[in-house]
Every structure is written in structure tokens, then in C-alpha cells.
Amino acid sequence: MKRFTQLIQELETSNKTNDKIAALVNYFNMADEKDKPYVIAMFTGKRPRRPVTTALIKEWAIELSAIPAWLFAESYHSVGDLSETIALVLPPAQQTRDRKLHEWITDLALLNGQDDDVKKEFILQAWNSLDTQERFIFNKLISGNFRIGVSNKMLVNAIAKQSDTDSNKIMHSIMGKWAPGEITYKELIAGVHVNTDSSWPYPFCLAYALETEPESLGETTAWQAEWKWDGIRGQLVKRNGELFIWSRGEELVTGQFPELHFLKDELPDGTVIDGEILSVKEGNVQAFSILQQRLNRKTIHKSQLKDAPIGFFCYDILEAGGKDIRTEPLSQRRKILVELMSALTTKDIAILSPVLSFQSWEELAEIRKGSRENNSEGIMLKKLSSLYHSGRKRGDWWKWKINPYTVDTVMIYAQKGSGRRANHFTDYTFAVRDGEQLITIAKAYSGLTDKEIKEVDSFVRKNAIEKFGPVRTVKPELVFEIAFEGIAESKRHKAGLALRFPRIARWRKDKIAAEINTLDDLRQLLASTL
Amino acid sequence: MALISFTNKGIFCKQGGFYVDPWQPVDLAVTTHGHADHVKFGNKAYLCHELTKPVLLQRLGADLPVQTLPYNKEITINGVKLSLFPAGHVIGSAQVRLEYKGEICVISGDYKVEYDGISTPFEPVKCHSFVSESTFGLPIYKWLPQEEVFGKIRNWISDNHDHLKTSVLIAYSLGKAQRLIKNLAGDKNIYVHQSIANLNEGFIRAGVDLPQTIRITPDIKKEDLQKGIVIVPPALADGKWMKSLMSASTGICSGWMQVRAGRRWKSADAGFALSDHADWPGLLSAIKATEAEKVFITHGFVSTFSRYLNETGIAAEEVTTRYGNEEEEEEILKEA
């Protein structure tokens, strides 16, 4: 476990991707063979069943460290991570033991179904034989939840480098079905449990934001316009009787979207389609916040399948009949795509992303104003003669996004963040004016630089009025412009409405609290969107 | 009548007519140590330990009216007996003991209980009331013995050396820097930023046994820095100069490095939990050793620590002061 602890420390002390990959490569070069598949399983979220509940672990830690529960809670707020808090508050270990990572993991798995006394004895003994860093790792092993800034993609790149194997093959292999106790690292790399010859995706073609007026693009007839859908960019790969769904992050997400699995039977072999994963209900695209319920889930509830059904809006076709057609012009690819889509028997799930017809740029600008009604983010402009580029290339594809709504608010609460942001006040609650009162309208925690966070943090410390656990009420003085994508009625919020995707657009140091927006302003906006 | 009160200028002893570590200008400022949050410019007179004097002269001006005292020597000011006891925080740091008509009060400034190899070790002083900091007043803060921490630092340095990286330790100029120098001195040259070099010269003139260091100047070769150990204050941590070094690896030495979030926030290459403040067990043992009936808790986890003391039978009161921002010191350095 010492080698693994070292890896975690190395991963945490650098924020450079190359350093992290180097640390992972080093680890896979030197680590115990049996440990390796467990590490890959852990980093990709293949979680074993949790053998001991959080409540029990917390209870034992409090008991062993002989501190009151409230003090443990305060410590937790300062640390921002439960496993780490426990590792730090426990009394120093009295023994040392170096067991292998996979031994700890298999022993922990054996605790499932045992009496609490047996579990307690095991956990306490382990804590007493590990140093602070190792304890932290051990606690993470119990929760099975390692979030240490290693994406699947990064892990895959490291393994690919270490084993000199194509990274898409590794991605397919580790996203497949396997169990860490039953497969060797070599077998995993070789992908003995999957057929990695069929899954590989193409690099996505990406667009730059259009910063000028579209008139600069010349004749309208040279361009194809579509809605810019607000979902997850995806690639459908159907080869050798198998279907794979890749996300923009080059992760395999096939299992997350069972609604699309019919395509395995309906798409011909040798087909690759570029499109957007969206929540689509009765043919209508739903808001991103609804799609969000479906993302990164290991299990999907029935209600989620019903409330947030998945659809796939097809943009483009990259491979047809097993042939790479990315160098064909878009107009030609579109024809092939239309033909292919019309042959599907299941309708309304995989849908052709409609092409907008327009005569002039002014007309398109008018159409664009209606973007929000379709839950789209604006318009995509693609040159009809364009080939399908790898990555971002200026000139052929443009995204012409609509501007977000904004509202000026004042900060009234601040809370310490977690993870990297623990110990700094980084999560803020904002209010607008409602007569003499201030009424909460949004919570947001992104959009500020580290320097600004420090400044706000220092303001909060000096101007805190009241304290509720980790939350401080602060003097309503700092004005922030909040950007948001939509507004909806809400019974759950005191204001009677809720903002969609609120985030800090900028800190309005030039404004004072008297100049912020009112609840009436927002009500008017709401009325105008209905 | 109480011997001290907490006013908007600082900790005030009415009977004696002086302040301890005031943050607004007063006639007489009794000074526990030279960190910027404990001593300000503009007081008419200063009283401090003899090893704090060179710090004050350097930081506040060479013609500053400073009177000094050794540890354990009593003087009387307006009938109040005053003496200084080692606080173990940095070189020359002192706890201020006041006695008037049998009542004893100790203002400890900043302190740590572990001997750091260079500052006179902390000495508990029995008193009726005790003013304590609470910078690390949470049970998550338990320091490893300093030898273990220095072991880690030495390993890190030799690892950097093997990989042709320059080891740059980030440490406060006053206190942490001297502690590192004393404990890391050996076969490698130690290069220090001028703010540290200036303080070191003052200490050496005052008789402190500090190992030899080299002041960083523009003509020092980067290759030499890479072979040695570099110590700079936090203000320089992400400056241009650092980028000019041969693949610098930065290591922050601070109690905040105990927590992962602290390490990640600062985005250093390494973090070493080495503090000049008492950890949780240190605070508790120091307070118990005073046998004080009343404890005033200042800068740090004030409310949490006070609540814990009250629940465990030690009468504690939260006090608002302006201490606890040592980083301010480094901000001043940056401007200079």
C-alpha cells in the first residue's frame, strides 16, 4: 500500500497532466502485478460493495479520537473530505504494517455481511497500523470513491504509454466487463475480454465561437445552419454487430444510455455517426438540467428513464459501409446520413438534427432569437463544402451562441468549499431586492479566479455577521453579476422562481448594493419567456 | 479590576499604562515578536526581548526607540511587574508575564511547544489568566516530530538533486527560514532571499549561532542554486524569478500543509506540515500547564477552540484581535 500511497501523493501534488501521467506510468512499471487491476478499477469508478457504512466509520473515529461529535463536524468542514478528516483526528498508529493494496481490498470485501463488532475490530486494527496518509487511502478504499483528478482519459493515456498500446483500445478494454480479482494487468491491456478492433472512434470535429456578425462569412448559400444543442456530444459506433457510444471526453458511455441500444440492431455494420446526446421527450429536446439526472450514473432508476428519456440528435456521418467518409464534403455526408436515418424503423429516439432554412443572415439572426424555446444554445454554422476535421479548425465550422441572461445580485451567504476549495469561502448565495428585503435567488461557486476568491474570502472573514456551522451571513455589500440560461417558476424557492445554470459572470466592483436588480425585474423576465 | 482589557487599539494593561502587540499607535508597545501582525510602525516606544530588537530595527527603522529585556528578568512599570518568558515561536519570541497585586496574567503572542533547534524553547508560566492563540485549534492539526518532517524534506531535496531540479523551500523570512537553515545545514549550500539574509545578519550580530548561508544575488549561477537549497518567502512563490530557475521544485513549509486542500490550493510541488505554532495537543498542554482560571482565545479557530475548552472545564472567552495574518508580512516584502 505504501507504493499506492506514494502514487496518490504524486497525483495530488501536481496539477500538470504530464506529471500525473508520468506518475501513473511509473506506478504501473513498478507496482505489484495483482494491485494494478484494482487500481484501474478504483480510478474508473468500478466500486466494490461498500462493506461498512459511513455512519459507523464516523462513529468509531469519533469514539477512538475522544472528541465530541460537533468538533469532528467542525474539523470535517475545515478539511472538506471525510476520509481525510478521520485520518487526521485519530490518535497516532502504534504499529506499522505494509500489506499489499489488493490484500486490503479483498479483506475489506470479506467484511460484507459480518457483524458490526467484527467490522469494528478490523477497521480499528487497520487504523492502528497505518500512518496518516495510508489511513486516508484506507478510508477511501472503504468508500471506494477516489476522486483525485484522474479522468478515465488520463488513466487510459498513461496505461497506453506504459504498455505501448493504442489508447482507444485501452479505453474500450477498461470500460468493458471485468473484475479486478479475475484478470491480470496484461490481459486487461490486451483486451482479452472484449473485441477492441471494432470500437475505435474518430476524433471529434470542433467549432470555434463566432465573435463577429455572420455577414463576414459571405454567401448564405455556402452554409448549413443547425441548432446548437445543449447536451453531450457523442459518437455512435456500430461495427461487427456491436454498438459503442463515445462521449466528447473520449470515454465510453454505452452503458449509461440503454434507450440507444436498439441502434445495435438497426444500424448497419460499419457506421459511425456524430451527434448530441440529449433528453428528448415526445420529440422535444428537454433542458440540460433534465439530462444531467442521467449523467455519470452507475444505475438508472425507472423514474429517471421516464422523466429524462434519452435521444440522439444526429449531426454527421463519418463512416458508412465500413468506409471512412470524412473527406467527403458535408453536403454529401448529409445526404448519406438522411438516407441512413430514413431506414431506421424505431423513430423519435435517434433523430436527424434539423437543418434550418434561411435566405439571409438577418433572417437567421431572427431564428436564433428563438434558440431558448428549443432548449438550444444558439446556432451552428457549417460550410457545406467542409470535410470532417480532426479537432478544432478555424473557418469551416462556427458556433453562434446566444448571450446568457444576467442579473445583478448581492452576496448574502458564504460557505467554505470542499476538496481543493476547503478552508476558503468559495460557495456563495446571492440575493435580489424585494422591497426592503433581500431575497435569495441563486447559489453559485464558479467563475471567479483564485485571486478573486481570496479577496472575497478575506471580505467574508472580516464581515461575517452570523455563523451557522460552515455558513456565514455576510454584510450585503459585494455585487455580482450572475449569468443564467433560463428562468422558471418554482414552488421550492422562496423567490417563487429559479434560475437555470446560475454562475458568476463577473464581480461588479463598480456597483453598490443599492443598484442591484429587484425580484420584480425577474418576474417580468419570467412572464416574457412564458 | 482586570489586569488586561481588549480595546480597539490592542491588548491594554491599564494599571501599567502600556499595550501588548497593539495594532494602533500607542505610547509603549510591549512586543511579543517581530511578525507583522504583532508589531506595527508608529508607537512612541517598544519593549521586547533582546533578540527581537534586530528584527524591529530592520523592519520598522534603524532609529526606532526599542528597550530590551532578557528572558526571566523582571522590571516594574507603574507598579506592574513585567517579565518575558520564551514562547518558542521564533527566535526572540516572548510571552509577556504581568503581575499586579498578586494577580498574574500571561499574554503568549504566538507559541509552539516543540523545540525547533534554534528558538529558546517554550516555557509554561503559571498564571491566573492566559491569552492564547488558536491558529491550529482543531484536532486535525497534530504535528509529526520535527525530525520526521526534516527527514521528508531532506529526501525531497536529494530526490530533486538526482533529477537536476532546484529545491526551493517557501518559508516565512522570520522564524521558519532560520529553523530550516539550522536543521538543513550540511553538505549543501543554502541560498536565501535578501529579506532572509538581512534578518540572519541581524541575528548573527546579536550572537545567534546560525549556520552560514549565501545571499541570492543576480550574479549567482543558476547551476549553483540547483546544487544547493534555496529558501524564499511566500511572496516570491509564483514570481518571475522562480520561473527563471532551472526546473524549480517548490516545497511549502507551513502547518496548513497538513491538509490536502491546503496543499492543492497553493499548488506547490510539495507541502511539508512544519509549523511555528502549537498544534492541537500543544495548545491543550500549554494551557493546562498555566493552570489559568481564565483563558482568552485569540486568532485562529477562536469559537471552536473556546467551546471545546469550556466543555472540558476550562473557562475560555473568545476575543477579537487583528493577529493571525502573517502573510501580510510577506505582502509588505513584495512591495519593498
Of the partner residues A15, A71, A418, the one whose CB lies closest to the CB of residue B304: A71
Q: Average pLDDT of B76-96? A: 98
Q: How confident is the model at residue B328 (pLDDT cuts 50, 70, 90)?
A: very low
CATH number at residue B241: 3.40.50
CB contact under 8 A, B303 and A467: yes
**Percent over 70 (pLDDT), chain B:** 95
Task: Write the CB contacts of B237 (distance below 8 Å, at least 6 apart in sequence).
Answer: B170, B250, B252, B266, B268
In the predicted model, is pLDDT for residue B335 greater than 60? no
Closest among A274, A482, A471, A481 to A382, alpha carbons compared: A274
In the predicted model, is pLDDT for residue B54 greater than 80? yes
CA dihedral A41→A42→A43→A45, nearest 10 degrees, is 80
Using a CB-CB cut-off of 8 Å, the residues of chain B touching A81 are 260-261
Residues of the domain holding B258: 146-273
Using a CB-CB cut-off of 8 Å, the residues of chain A touching B300 are none
Using a CB-CB cut-off of 8 Å, the residues of chain B touching A418 are 261
- Assign 3-class secondary structure to A188-249: HHHCCCCCCCCCCCCCCEECEECCCCHHHHCCHHHEEEEEEECCEEEEEEEECCEEEEEECC
B213 with B253, same domain: the answer is yes
B8 with B136, same domain: the answer is yes
CA dihedral (A57, A61, A64, A68) positive or negative: negative
Q: Most B CBs within 10 Å: which of A79, A150, A424, A451, as the mutation test of the B interface? A: A79
B304 with B245, same domain: the answer is no
Is B73 buried (19+), middle (13-18) or exposed (0-12) by CB count in 10 A? exposed
CB contact under 8 A, B140 and A75: yes
B191 with B63, same domain: the answer is no
> Alpha carbon of B234 to those of A222, A242, B118, B170, B177: distances in Å?
57, 56, 21, 6, 11
**Long-range contacts (CB closer than 8 Å, 24 or more residues apart) made by A52-56:** A52/A111, A52/A119, A52/A123, A52/A142, A54/A82, A54/A143, A56/A116, A56/A119, A56/A120
In the predicted model, is pLDDT for residue B183 greater than 90? yes
- If DSSP codes are grouped into helix, strand and coil, which group holds residue A75? helix
B205 with B114, same domain: the answer is no
CB contact under 8 A, A80 and B261: yes
Closest among A246, A249, A50 to A144, alpha carbons compared: A50
CA A401 from centre of chain = 21
What is the C-alpha to C-alpha distance for residues A160 and A150, in angstroms, rounded to an integer?
15
Per-residue pLDDT, B180 = 98
Contact assessment for residue A149 and residue A18, using Cβ atoms and an 8 Å cutoff: no
Taking the CA of residue B311 and the nearest CA in chain A, the distance in Å comes to: 9
The residue among B223, B246, B273 that closes a domain is B273
Amino acid at A342: S
B308: cell is 471545546
What is the C-alpha to C-alpha distance for residues B209 and A82, in angstroms, rounded to an integer?
44
Of the partner residues A78, A80, A419, the one whose CB lies closest to the CB of residue B138: A78
A179: cell is 473484475
Q: How confident is the model at residue B330 (pLDDT cuts 50, 70, 90)?
A: very low
pLDDT, mean over chain B:
92
What is the C-alpha to C-alpha distance for residues A463 and A473, in angstroms, rounded to an integer?
8
Q: Most A CBs within 10 Å: which of B252, B260, B284, B309, as the mutation test of the A interface? A: B260
Please enumerate residues of A whose Cβ is less than 8 A from a Cβ of B. 12-15, 65, 67-68, 70-72, 74-75, 78-81, 84-85, 88-89, 92, 136, 418-424, 450, 467
Q: What is the full DSSP assignment across B128-145?
A: SEEEEEETT-STT--PPP
R_g of chain B, CA atoms, integer Å? 20
The residue among B273, B295, B313 that closes a domain is B273
CB contact under 8 A, B259 and A71: no
Taking the CA of residue A424 and the nearest CA in chain B, the distance in Å comes to: 9
B27 with B85, same domain: the answer is yes
CB contact under 8 A, B264 and A12: yes
CA A203 from centre of chain = 20
> Alpha carbon of A89 to those of A61, A84, A286, B152, B278: distances in Å?
8, 9, 46, 21, 16
Taking the CA of residue A161 and the nearest CA in chain B, the distance in Å comes to: 21
Task: Write the CB contacts of B18 (distance below 8 Å, at least 6 apart in sequence).
Answer: B12, B26, B27, B28, B29, B30, B47, B77
Contact assessment for residue A340 and residue A323, using Cβ atoms and an 8 Å cutoff: no
| Per-residue exposure over A329-352, b if at least 16 CB sit within 10 Å of its own CB, e if not | ebeebbebbeebbeebeeeebbbb
Q: What is the pLDDT of residues B220-240, one digit of tens each?
A: 999 999 999 999 998 887 677
CB contact under 8 A, A71 and B308: yes
B152 with B266, same domain: the answer is yes
- If DSSP codes are grouped into helix, strand and coil, which group holds residue A83? helix
Q: What is the pLDDT of residues B259-316, one digit of tens each?
A: 987 777 666 788 999 999 999 999 999 999 999 999 999 998 999 999 999 999 999 9
Q: What is the full DSSP assignment across A254-282?
A: GGG-GGGGGHHHHSPSSEEEEEEEEEEET
CB contact under 8 A, A78 and B140: yes
Instruction: Write out residues in chain A with pLDDT < 50, as ranges.
Output: none
What is the C-alpha to C-alpha distance for residues A506 and A310, in angstroms, rounded to an integer?
34
Q: Most B CBs within 10 Å: which of A11, A12, A75, A425, as the mutation test of the B interface? A: A75
In the predicted model, is pLDDT for residue B334 greater than 60? no
**Long-range contacts (CB closer than 8 Å, 24 or more residues apart) made by B37-41:** B37/B299, B37/B322, B37/B323, B37/B324, B37/B325, B37/B326, B37/B328, B37/B329, B38/B109, B38/B110, B38/B323
Per-residue pLDDT, A358 = 95
Q: Average pLDDT of B116-144? A: 97
The catalytic position among A228, A238, A383, A416 is: A228
Taking the CA of residue A65 and the nearest CA in chain B, the distance in Å comes to: 9
Contact assessment for residue A40 and residue A180, using Cβ atoms and an 8 Å cutoff: yes
Tally A–B CB contacts below 8 A: 71
B10 with B125, same domain: the answer is yes
CB contact under 8 A, A75 and B262: no
Phi-psi region of A242 (alpha: psi -120 to 50; beta: other; left: phi over 0): beta
What is the C-alpha to C-alpha distance for residues B285 and B281, in angstroms, rounded to an integer?
6
CB contact under 8 A, B139 and A80: no
What is the C-alpha to C-alpha distance for residues B193 and B49, in angstroms, rounded to an integer?
25
Amino acid at A336: I
Of the partner residues B259, B268, B303, the one whose CB lies closest to the CB of residue A79: B259
Per-residue pLDDT, B49 = 98
B134 with B283, same domain: the answer is yes
- If DSSP codes are grouped into helix, strand and coil, which group holds residue B320? coil
What is the C-alpha to C-alpha distance for residues A111 and B272, in angstroms, rounded to an integer?
35
B116 with B164, same domain: the answer is no
| Per-residue exposure over B186-215, b if at least 16 CB sit within 10 Å of its own CB, e if not | eeebbbbbebbbbbbebbeebebebeebee
CB contact under 8 A, B139 and A89: yes
The interface predicted TM-score (ipTM) is 0.92
Closest among A101, A134, A100, A122 to A51, alpha carbons compared: A122
- If DSSP codes are grouped into helix, strand and coil, which group holds residue A165? coil
CB contact under 8 A, A65 and B139: yes
R_g of chain A, CA atoms, integer Å? 26
Using a CB-CB cut-off of 8 Å, the residues of chain B touching A79 are 140, 259-261
Residue indicated by cell numbers 485501452: A170
Taking the CA of residue B252 and the nearest CA in chain A, the distance in Å comes to: 11
Task: Write the CB contacts of A261 (distance below 8 Å, at least 6 apart in sequence).
Answer: A243, A254
B130: which strand partners? B106, B295
Consecutive H or E run containing B117 = none
DSSP A299: S
| Number of domains composing chain B | 2
CATH number at residue B88: 3.60.15.10
Q: Most A CBs within 10 Å: which of B135, B140, B284, as the mutation test of the A interface? A: B140
CA triple A291-A294-A297, angle to 5 deg: 155
Per-residue pLDDT, B1 = 67
**What angle separates helix A152-163 from helix A35-43, to the nearest 10 degrees?**
150
Closest among A274, A342, A339, A284 to A308, alpha carbons compared: A284
B105 with B179, same domain: the answer is no
B8 with B128, same domain: the answer is yes
Of the partner residues A68, A92, A420, the one whose CB lies closest to the CB of residue B261: A420
Q: What is the pLDDT of residues A384-427, one digit of tens each?
A: 999 998 887 788 999 998 888 889 999 999 987 766 666 788 88
| Per-residue exposure over A502-530, b if at least 16 CB sit within 10 Å of its own CB, e if not | bbbbebbeeeebeebbebeebbebbeeee
Q: What is the full DSSP assignment across A400-452?
A: EEPPPEEEEEEEEEEEE-SGGGTTSEEEEEEEEEETTEEEEEEEE--S--HHH
Closest among A444, A506, A425, A516 to A476, alpha carbons compared: A516
Active site residue A382: no
Amino acid at A101: L
What is the C-alpha to C-alpha distance for residues A507 and A408, in angstroms, rounded to an integer?
9
Residue indicated by cell numbers 456565514: A472
Q: Which phi and psi angles does B208 have, rounded to 5°?
A: -75, 135
Where do the domains of chain A lie, and which CATH numbers do they carry?
2-143 (1.10.3260.10), 205-401 (3.30.470.30), 405-529 (2.40.50.140)
CB contact under 8 A, A79 and B140: yes
Consecutive H or E run containing A514 = none
> Alpha carbon of A484 to those of A227, A380, A513, B161, B245: distances in Å?
19, 21, 20, 50, 44
Q: What is the pLDDT of residues A153-178, one digit of tens each?
A: 889 999 999 999 988 888 888 877 78
Contact assessment for residue B166 and residue B160, using Cβ atoms and an 8 Å cutoff: yes
Per-residue pLDDT, A412 = 93
Q: Average pLDDT of B108-131? A: 97
Q: What is the full DSSP assignment across A436-494?
A: TEEEEEEEE--S--HHHHHHHHHHHHHHEEEEETTEEEE-TT-EEEEEESEEEE-SSST
